[in-house]
Structure 1
Amino acid sequence: MVNESAPKPHVAFLSSPGMGHITPLYELAIRLVTEHNFQVSFLVIPAGSTPAQDKYLNSNQLPDLHIVDLPSADMSDFHLDDMSVVIRLCCIVEEHIRPLRSVLTGTKRPKPKAFVIDMFCTGVFEACNDLNIPVYSFFTASAAFLTFSLYLPKLDCKAEGEFVLRPEPVKVPGCNPILTKDLLDLVPNGMIDDYKLWFLHVSRLSMVKGIFVNTWDDLEPVSLKAMKHERFFLDIPTPPVYPIGPLTKQAEPLVSEYEKEAIEWLDKQPNGSVLLVALGSGGTLTSEQLIELAWGLELSQQRFILVVRKPSDCALSAFFSAGSDPDDPEAYLPEGFVERTKGVGLVVSSWAPQVAVLSHPSTGAFLSHCGWNSTMESVNYGVPVIAWPLYVEQRMNATMLCNEVGVAEKMPVVGEGGETVVVGRKEIESVVKAVLEGEEGKKLRSRAKELEAKGRETLSRVGSSYEALARVIESWKIET
């Protein structure tokens, strides 16, 4: 008999700053509250917060989902603006988790049954071990990247970080080979500080009690099978891996005028005719590439929504400012572009309501940086992708979406030597036309719609993703 007066089981979450990590953890927290009768404390690191993050978290109206701000840390001795994104993230997390014990024990809620973290928050182990709270990792990238990450310590010992310079593909046991040029942006040299920090967190994955991953069997069958059956992963040993996707952000209320304008403009367009061009919460192009992209869109004569940010030579320059007040995008575009494309295209500054656009029937394709959240959103709404990877593992994602999943056409942004190259306007025009009008685009759209249906099925009560999460939840309920 259920004791209705007993408190609901409690789980705590912590993500490093950045929408790419916060979104999947927060959506899992929502699912625990709305579908499984849990209460959740979602710990938030105040430093590195962006307007987009604040808006997203503040939209929560669930009484059992508690947003808990960690105490602000004194970062005055750190030159954050001079740090790379990875080093800055790790520094911010390390300083803000120092009072974690008192935060976890200082609420009126019962001790958490589990603590779910992202990959940059592995510094919580000492506090959680002292409090006897099991730690689970939510790996916020693909299962393919997870297998590579689990294999990385062996590669690092074997080749001292220089394996990425070799021409042959990297062969993770039981997995599809990874092209060397898809890794050069990720692990350029074993001695770089960014790589060392990333390697440190990756090497701790074996310490967690389980790993959530935002994918499912129909999307990444090879990688998921390898982690279950390959001798290498069994011998590490690999913690249990729980594929619980597709997990995507729910449509947010349209607050600003430019957000409402985008949807009103879409309402007037034919079904499947519009290309959304958006490069994630922090992605930017160089000035030269942005000009070529704009010309390519104009030459294609296809309908589009173009999200424009101030150009930069650093592809991650907007990471810590996502959703900031828009500026004038015409300053970065070819002279007269906005006027010439009026009626065919819509230019939006800095930020767009991506889920609302992708779920709209007028949207026919998505020019994406292939971050994993954007990938899940495109698949979840059956929208084919023009892959334009920018940084970290996005090159791997782009190759997988094209060659294995069959929902994307890759833009040639990576040269034969792994270098980033400028794609010219005629090439952009050709790819955009092919995906929105050509036979190849029809095949991609058909496959995307097929995966959309399978994604809904796996989240149903008889689906594999629902059952994977349910198994973990049942174990949490019986733990003391």
Structure 2
Amino acid sequence: MDTQNPHVAILPSPGMGHITPLLEFGKRLVTLYGFHVSFFVLTTDASAAQTHLLRSANLPQGLNIIHLPPTDVSGLFPPDAAIETRMSIIVRESVPALRSALAELARPTVLVVDVFGTDTFPIADELHIPKYVFFTSTAMLLALLMYLPTLDVEVTGEYVHLQEPLQIPGCKPIQIENMVDPLQDRKNDRYGWVLHQACRYTMAQGILVNTCEDLEPITIKALKEDPILRKIPTPSIHPVGPIIQSNTPLVSGKECLTWLDRQPAESVIYVSFGSGGTLSAEQITELAWGLELSQQPFLWVVRPPSGNEKSATYFTSGGQCGHPSEYLPDGFLTRTQGIGLVVPSWGPQREILRHKATGGFLTHCGWNSTLESIVYGVPMIAWPLFAEQKLNASTLTEELKVAVRPMVLPEKEGVRREEIERVVRLVMDSEDGKALRGRVKEVSDSVLRGLDEGGSSYNSLSNVVNEWKINLQKPIGNVE
């Protein structure tokens, strides 16, 4: 390994929503700056989509995937434990394996972990290297989490019982109905784990955020300048996004693109709830009827119903899920043949969103999917399910104005077919929809300029890279 180039160790938490952006970040460090990257993957019940990603990611020379040995976490959390609890414990129990793996490599220049990876910080301290967090969601969520230890002390009772919006210094107030899931029940283990991670963000030398100045100017300014947040203390903030999935060989899903090739421009509503989102049987039925009633061409990535668990496939996305005829309304596939295409479990989202036939996206508002939709100029129907998705939906509809939201919030009660028909028609076949499409394309142009040389995100990442290069020249033990 060339010791003149920085060597970055990257550890994502389990799940496609974390692995994908950190892998793309690693690829960017290698291809743009000549860094070496060791990309560590925690061994869990890996999904088919994750396996596909890691095998077909067109990895540049200098980026090495290292699979850490499996860690026995049986008995450490119940089967129904929340995602935040599971991920935090998996990372914590993998610390010895990561320490051993790093000991076999040349000393890294820096350690980068994501939002659930702060229990690895002592390893960086042992190696006398700086530690950074790559924040895979919005600056708004980061501001909330940076302020969470203060809220935990100052607020009595549940946040969801507050009569007024939650006030974060320098930021737009958070409406209680948009409160992120882990903060809705302070007695649940997931709240304790999120608080645990948030308390440790202050230990990082910096936080890279997968957003940009043009998407969240007010919040980014607050994180960098608000006197209350600066006293926490908030580490240096580096908006480096949008970092989305880049070109990968298409080994499946070609039938989707062939079907899209036959559709008129901007005529198809794409429906997908991300790598982990699932719906109840009743909601799947209503969604099917709503799409049929809208009479709009649709491409629907569908999974079997999951009862009330909205993130049932988070760790197993892309697996086998049976034939859709088993859980879609009787005759639906026959009646919509030629109008819609139903794809079981997984579809090539990047290729679908960038296709000229795609004119709208009914989405769960996961941040990776949101960024992809913005980059490719596709307006959205916001249908949040879990985690911070309600907060994202609020940003998309109220601030960026690139999405619409059903009048009945999906996370509170089921959305009926008539409302689904209405919002699909609004986005796909109305003057308001045309205005929405024009707005998202303006935002797309703006964020893409930020990634170009001299743009805000380009400069932000370049500043971090220069810090790491300087750190490479310092004696071991001298980390600022």
Name which of 403, 411, 414 aligns with 1:408. 403
2:417 matched to which residue of 1?
Answer: 425
Secondary structure of 2:125 counterpart: helix
Provide the secondary structure at the position in 2 that maps to 1:47. coil
Deviations 1:362-419 (A, max 9, x none): 100100000100110000101000000001110011011001001000123538xxx6
Q: Is the CA contact (8 Å cut-off) linking 2:159 and 2:184 kept in structure 1?
A: no
Alignment of 1:1-400 (within 5 A): 6-60=3-57, 61-78=59-76, 81-107=79-105, 110-183=106-179, 185-256=181-252, 259-312=253-306, 313-400=308-395
C-alpha distance in 1 between matches for 2:443 and 2:45: 35
Aligned-partner SS, 1:461: coil
Q: How far did residue 171 of structure 1 move?
A: 1.4
DSSP 3-state at the match of 2:305 = coil
What SS is found at the alignment partner of 2:177?
helix
Question: How far apart in 2 are the matches of 1:145 and 1:475?
Answer: 25
Task: Provide the rounded CA distance (Å) in 2 between the counterparts of 1:97 and 1:321.
Answer: 23
- 49-58 or 160-169, larger mean C-alpha shift: 160-169
Question: How many angstroms apart in 1 are the aligned matches of 2:435 and 2:110?
Answer: 43
Partner of 1:442: 434
Shift, 1:444, TM fit: 1.1
SS in 1 for 2:38: strand
Q: How far is the alpha carbon of 1:126 from its aligned partner?
A: 1.2
CA deviations 1:75-124 (Å, max 9, x no partner) are: 344466343222222222111122322211202xx311111101111111
**Secondary structure, in 3 states, of the residue corresponding to 1:333?**
coil
TM-score, length basis structure 1: 0.95
Q: How many residues align?
A: 470
CA–CA separation in structure 1 for the residues paired with 2:45 and 2:24: 20
Distance between the aligned counterparts of 2:75 and 2:2, measured in 1? 48
Give 4+ residue runs of structure 1 displaced > 3 Å after superposition: 4-7, 75-82
Superimposed CA distance per residue, residues 342-364 of structure 1 (whole angstroms, 9 cap, x where no aligned partner): 11100000111000000111100
- 8 Å CA contact 1:18–1:48 kept in 2: the answer is no
The 10-residue stretch of structure 1 (52-61 or 159-168) with the greater mean CA deviation from structure 2: 159-168
Bigger Cα displacement from structure 2, 171-180 vs 71-80: 71-80
Q: CA, structure 1 residues 12+71, in 2 after alignment: closer, same or farther (shift >3 Å)? A: same
What whole-Å deviation, never above 9, does each CA across 1:118-165 have from its counterpart, x for those lacking one? 111111111110111211001111011111111111111111452321
Q: 2: distance between equivalents of 1:150 and 1:77? A: 31
For residue 315 of structure 2, give the secondary structure of its aligned residue in structure 1: helix
Q: What are the Cα deviations for residues 266-315 of structure 1, in whole angstroms up to 9, with x where unaligned?
A: 01101111111000100001110110000000000001101110111200
| Partner SS state of residue 357, structure 1 | helix
Deviates more, 1:296-305 or 1:62-71: 62-71
User: Which digits, 9 at most, give the CA deviation of each residue in 1:399-455, with x for residues without a partner?
Assistant: 11001001000123538xxx6211100010011000001111111111111111112
Native 8 Å contact 2:180 2:389 kept in 1: no
- With 192-201 and 67-76 compared, the bigger mean Cα shift is at 67-76
Decide whether the 8 Å contact of 1:17 with 1:48 is kept in 2.
no
**1:19: Cα distance to partner?**
0.6
8 Å contact from structure 2 (residues 452, 458) kept in 1: yes
Letter in 1 for 2:42: I
> Equivalents in 1 of 2:280, 2:429: separation in Å?
28
Distance 2:240 2:190 in 1: 29
CA contact (8 A) 1:186 1:391 kept: no
Shift in CA distance, 356/184, structure 1 to aligned 2, threshold 3 Å: closer
- What letter is aligned with 1:167? Q
Name the SS for the 2:330 alignment partner. coil
Asked if 1 retains the 8 angstrom alpha-carbon contact of 2:304 and 2:321, the reply is no
Separation of aligned partners in 2, 1:255 and 1:311: 27
Cα root mean square deviation, aligned: 1.5
For structure 1, which segment, 406-415 or 14-23, has the greater mean C-alpha deviation from structure 2 after superposition? 406-415
Moved more, 246-255 or 215-224: 246-255
Q: List alignment gaps of at least 5 residues for structure 1.
A: none
- Does residue 448 of structure 2 align to residue 451 of structure 1? no
CA contact (8 A) 2:180 2:391 kept: no
What is the percent sequence identity of the aligned residues? Answer: 46
